[in-house]
Every structure is written in C-alpha cells, then in structure tokens.
Amino acid sequence: MTMNFSRTTNKLKHAAFYIPFTIYFVVFAIAAFIGFKMLGNNEINADSSFTDIFQLLLKVALAFTIAIISVAFIPVLISFLYFMYKKRKTGIRFGISTDVKESRLNEKQTVRLAISPVLKPFFGFIRLRLLYDQKHYSKKFSLLENSKRKFFSTSIEGTYHWTLPQIKEYHVEKAVLYFEDVFQFFSIAVNLPASSHFFTQPTTKGIKDLNVLPRKTEETNTRIEQLRKVEGEYLNYKNFENNDDVRRIVWKIYAKNKELVVRIPEIMDPYASHVYLYASFFSHFDIEGNGAVEVPFLNYFKVITWSVYQNLVKRGFEVRYVPDQEVAKNNTADEQQSVKYSISTSKWHNVKDLKTYVKTNDASIVLISSLSDADEVQDLMENAGGDITFIFIKLTDSFKNQNVIDWVQWLFIENQKDDVDVYKRGWALSPLRVRIKENERKLAEILQKYQGAETAIIGTK
C-alpha cells in the first residue's frame, strides 16, 4: 500500500514538470483577478467626473496586463514551435559529457551539455532537467554558458555543476528541456532522449605508508628502483657445486645424509614488485534500506580503497587490484583509470565472503570494513600468518559524532537541507548501529592481536 502510494506520488510529481505555466503566473493571475474585481465593484458617484477617468484607467491596466502576458508568452511559443519544427525536420543534436577527475565527497560533478538547433526566447531562458537511473530527476537548472556566445545563436553549449550523492556510475536516459519567459510565467517542456553514462570518482585521501611486501612476480619486463627480497636463504637448498661458497654448506644435512648441499641466498630481485590488493565489499549484515550504510559508508570505503591503491602505486609497486564482484568493463587502456572505475561502481553485497574471495597465496594486502564478519577475519588471519597486511576501514568514523547541540538545532532551527545531516540522524536512530559498533570493536581487537599495528585501522581518531 505504501509502495503504491509512493509510486503515485512520484508520477504526479513528474507530471507537474510538464505544466506549461509556473507558480509565479498563478500568483500573478490571482492577484490581478482580485484587484480588478475589487476596483470594478468600487461604488463611485455616477455624477462624478472621476467615473470616466477611473474606468479608463482600469481599461489601461487591463491592456497593460494583457501586454505583459503576451510579451511573456509569444517569444516562448515562437521558440517552442521553432524547436519542434527542427526536431521533426532535421533532428536535434544533444550531447552530454563529463570531466574525468577526482571528486571529493559532496563535490559537484561538472557536466557539459550541447543542444542545437534551439532558439532561446527573447530575454527568456532555456532550462533543463535530467532523468537518471530510470526514476530520479535532477533539479531544474540553467547552463553556465560560454561568455563568448553570440547574441543570436541557434545552439546552446555550457556546463552544469551537478551535486550527486554517491560515488557510482550514473545513466542519463532523458532530458526535459524548458522554454521560459523573462518573467518566468510560462515554462513549456519538451522531452529529449539521451543515452549517456558517467561515474563519479573517489578522491585520494592522505594515509601513512603501509608495511606491505610483494608476494608474486608475473613478469620481468618492469624494473623498480627499490629492490624487493624474495624467498629467503633459509627456505631453499641446492646441491653443492664447485663455484659455491663453502661457508654456505649445510653441515647438519651432510652429517645426516652425507650430501653436500648449500643454502640458496636471498635474491634481491628488481622485478619482484607485484602487490595483490583485495578490497572486500561483503556485508555480514542486512543493510537494505539503510541510507547511511548504502551512501556515505560506501563512499568512504571507496575513497580509502582508492587511496590505498594510489599509495602503493606511488611507492613503485606493480599493484594488481582484485575486485570481488562483476562490473561492466570500462573501455580504457589506462590501468589506473580501469581500477578507479571498478572501485567506483562496486556495491555492498552478500555473495562472495572473505574465504571465497581472498587467495592467501597471492594476497599482499586485504581491506576489510565494519560490515565484515569478525569470525571470518580471525580465521583468515590465523591461516595467513604474517604474510598478508590487513587494513580495517572503520566506517562509522566517516561521520562526526552526533551531539546534543546537533539535535537541538535540528528540532528548533530550520537549517538548509543537507544530505549528510539527514544520513547522520537516520544512522543515530538505526537499530543496526549498535550491532555494527560492536562488530567494529571485535575487528579492532582481532587486528591488534595478530598485527598489533595502529596503522592497520583507518578511521580511528
């Protein structure tokens, strides 16, 4: 019942986008009607010389009102008819593109749009609204146009700084184009089909260098500046040869088996630089419908994951990021951009747990979150020994503590609507909050027990 009501409300809201006049026109029309009624019913002495003058003034005011409405409506109608004619005759070119750049949390995404041919109403406006992800509409906006634009032009090009709540891939399916007059009395809407997608990208957060060693070498065509040790001398032996150093003979083996063997020394391999990075988006909890977990917590995990990746790359490692879910391929030859796309489009899931996901023979570093299963993390750390570095991303620290002052301001002061504040208040009242906080405490204890490094917990204050 609630879902049907919500759908009906959304349909009515979207239908209201296509009403050809605005609230300003409604207010103007009501005020003009009341004014003329009051003045027309005003009793004036019929013998007074002011009667004819007053009636003439009313007619002038009515003519002026009609002129204002005509000045507002006619240019909009002309632009609309021109657009519809061109749309049917030659078609409309409508392009959307975005900047490929890192975007901080809550930072606006720059979207470039180009439309032609289109004729802007005289002294009027062209505004747009974008339909994305099948059911969401952006706010109505005007393009920030190029300052060098000609006075008379049949094309519009400009940018829109779009505030988007999530680090993810967005699909734009349609644009609604509005022709509006100088007084903003009329707003005639036209649909424009669109097929565009882009993804908002995580920023790089400054973190300390992590104590990570490569565990696998795939190829020997890329050297690194800092040599990495592989396979220590106490792990492997070989038969003694004439050119071997006699000081490396293992006399205990000779005494037992009468065989001369020598230890293989540590190899300072300039190619042993591959670091396998695992980041688990697995959730041990039922988080469906929890806005705080689905948006700001997920954003924060992606930011830290990308920051860890960048930290390793800048230190000279050949990093292999291993995703834990299938994502659409990003057609780019840039490996870092491909990794960024994979991280940005990942979601919380309950399909592939840590045991299934992490390959302990290859993994150098594993990122876990507050949603990870503490028992699975403990088992994995026991089996992996000290070969794998585990990083615990404490999601709840992505929020500042909700204190009494915040609640007082929310109750008695009407602040500007802020999505982050809405998520914070929802999280403070969520029944899942206590369970996740308890899970964070367990995970922190496990990491302290097996790794003992405070740097292994990102998000602590």
Domain residue limits, the chain: 16-201, 232-265, 274-458
Binned at pLDDT 50, 70 and 90, residue 418 comes out as low
pLDDT at 221: 46
Q: How far apart are CA 457 and CA 460, in angstroms?
A: 7
Tokens of 144: 């920030």
Residue 320 predicted with pLDDT over 70: yes
Q: How far apart are CA 19 and CA 194, in angstroms?
A: 22
User: 435 or 381: which carries more pLDDT confidence?
Assistant: 435
Q: Which amino acid is at 442?
A: K
Mean predicted confidence (pLDDT) in 158-170:
86
Binned at pLDDT 50, 70 and 90, residue 399 comes out as confident
Tokens of 115: 């439309």
pLDDT at 414: 41
Query: Would you put residue 256 in left (φ > 0), alpha (ψ -120 to 50) or beta?
Result: alpha
- pLDDT tens, 297-313? 999 999 999 999 998 88
- pLDDT tens, 79-128? 999 999 999 988 888 888 876 655 554 457 788 889 989 988 988 899 99
pLDDT at 225: 45
Mean predicted confidence (pLDDT) in 175-199:
90
What is the separation, in whole angstroms, between the first and last Cα of the chain? 45
Residue 372 predicted with pLDDT over 60: yes
| 3-state per-residue secondary structure call for 340-371 | HHHHHCCCCECCCCHHHHCCCCCEEEEEEECC
pLDDT at 437: 92
pLDDT at 316: 79
Binned at pLDDT 50, 70 and 90, residue 151 comes out as low
**Strongest mean pLDDT among 114-118, 327-331, 450-454:** 114-118
User: 113 or 257: which carries more pLDDT confidence?
Assistant: 113
Q: How many CB atoms lie within 10 A of CB 238?
A: 11
| 3-state per-residue secondary structure call for 12-41 | HHHHHHHCCECHHHHHHHHHHHHHHHHHHC
pLDDT at 51: 72
Mean predicted confidence (pLDDT) in 247-275:
68
Mean predicted confidence (pLDDT) in 428-447:
90
- Picking from 30-34, 305-309, 322-326, 422-426, which range would have the lowest pLDDT averaged per residue? 422-426
Binned at pLDDT 50, 70 and 90, residue 398 comes out as confident
Tell me the percentage of the chain whose pLDDT exceeds 70.
76
- Picking from 108-112, 260-264, 425-429, which range would have the lowest pLDDT averaged per residue? 260-264
Residue 129 predicted with pLDDT over 80: yes
Mean predicted confidence (pLDDT) in 190-200:
86
Mean predicted confidence (pLDDT) in 347-352:
91
User: 29 or 240: which carries more pLDDT confidence?
Assistant: 29
Mean predicted confidence (pLDDT) in 375-393:
84
Say whether the peptide bond before residue 20 is cis (omega within 30 degrees of 0): no
Binned at pLDDT 50, 70 and 90, residue 162 comes out as confident
pLDDT at 413: 40
Residue 402 predicted with pLDDT over 70: no
Q: Which CATH number fits domain 274-458: 2.30.29, 3.40.50, 3.30.70, 1.10.3470?
A: 3.40.50
Mean predicted confidence (pLDDT) in 429-453:
85
pLDDT at 218: 52
pLDDT at 278: 94
Q: How far apart are CA 454 and CA 311, in angstroms?
A: 18
pLDDT at 128: 92
Mean predicted confidence (pLDDT) in 264-291:
76
pLDDT at 222: 46
Mean predicted confidence (pLDDT) in 439-444:
92
Mean predicted confidence (pLDDT) in 346-368:
89
pLDDT at 135: 80
Mean predicted confidence (pLDDT) in 409-416:
40
User: 11 or 431: which carries more pLDDT confidence?
Assistant: 431
